Amino acid sequence: MMRPGRGSTRAQLLPDDDSGRAAAVEALRAGGLVAMPTDTVYGVGVALSAHDGLMRLFAAKDRPLDRAIVLLVADLEQAASVGVLSPAARVLAERFWPGGLTLVLEQAPGAVLPTVLTAGAETIGIRLPDHDSPRALARQLGPLPVTSANLSGHPDARDAARVLTQLGGRIDLVLDGGPARGGIPSTVVDCSGELPRVLRSGAIPSTELAAALSRAGLAHSISE
C-alpha cells in the first residue's frame, strides 16, 4: 500500500457496497486514507489508531494543523466512549442523530485522542451521520476522523469523480456511492460548557434545538 499523501499511485475506486466497505476497512486498518459518501458531501478518513495517520490526512488535504477534525461515530454508545454526554448533549443527540448535528463535547475520561485531532483543545467534535457508509466503517474501526474529501480551500466533492480529481494521487481508496446529497453543513453546538450554545448555524435550525432543550427542562443560551 502506498504511503498516503505521497502521490505515488491513483486511488482505488470501489462501489459503496458490502465488498467495497470490507476493502475500505482493510485499507483503514493498514493505515490508509479512504474517501466515502456521507449525508452531506464526500469525506475522507483514517483510522484513529493508525500511526501518523492523522498527519497524512492533513498532508493529503493541505489542511492547516490548527483546524480540528470531527469524529464520525456508529451510535450513541461510541460517542460516549470519546466525549462526555452531558444531559443537554444526550437530549440533542437522541432527538437529532443521525443527522446534521455536530456536538462539541469534553473529552471522556480515559479517552486518548491525539492533540492534532483536536488542535490542542480539551474538547472533541462528534457527529452521527445519516448515511450507512461512514457508520458501517466506524462500527468496524471505532470513532473515525473524517473531513471533507477535497483539497483545503477547494470546492467540496459531491461525487467520487471529483474526489479523484482533487485527491486521487494522495489517498488509497474511494467508495463510490453515487452523488452525495450536498446541502447545508451540520449545525455545531458546544455542549462542553455550562450552557449549550450554537457555534455554527446549519442543517438543524436553532429554534428546534432550543425547543428540544426547553421541553427537557434544560437551561441553554439558544434563541427560540
| Mean pLDDT of each 10-residue bin along the chain, 224 residues long | 50 98 98 97 96 96 96 98 98 98 97 94 97 98 97 96 97 97 92 96 96 96 83
Residue 223 confidence (pLDDT): 81
Which residues have CB under 8 Å from 179's CB, separation 6+? 158, 159
pTM equals 0.94
What is d(CA 97, CA 205) in angstroms, rounded to the nearest whole number? Answer: 14
Residue 2 confidence (pLDDT): 40
C-alpha cell recorded at residue 62: 493541505
Residue 95 confidence (pLDDT): 98
Residue 177 confidence (pLDDT): 98
Which residues have CB under 8 Å from 11's CB, separation 6+? 35, 163, 164, 167, 168, 169, 170, 171, 172, 173, 174
The answer to whether residues 39 and 178 touch, using CB atoms and an 8 Å cutoff, is no
Angle at 183 between CA 70 and CA 195, to 5 degrees: 50
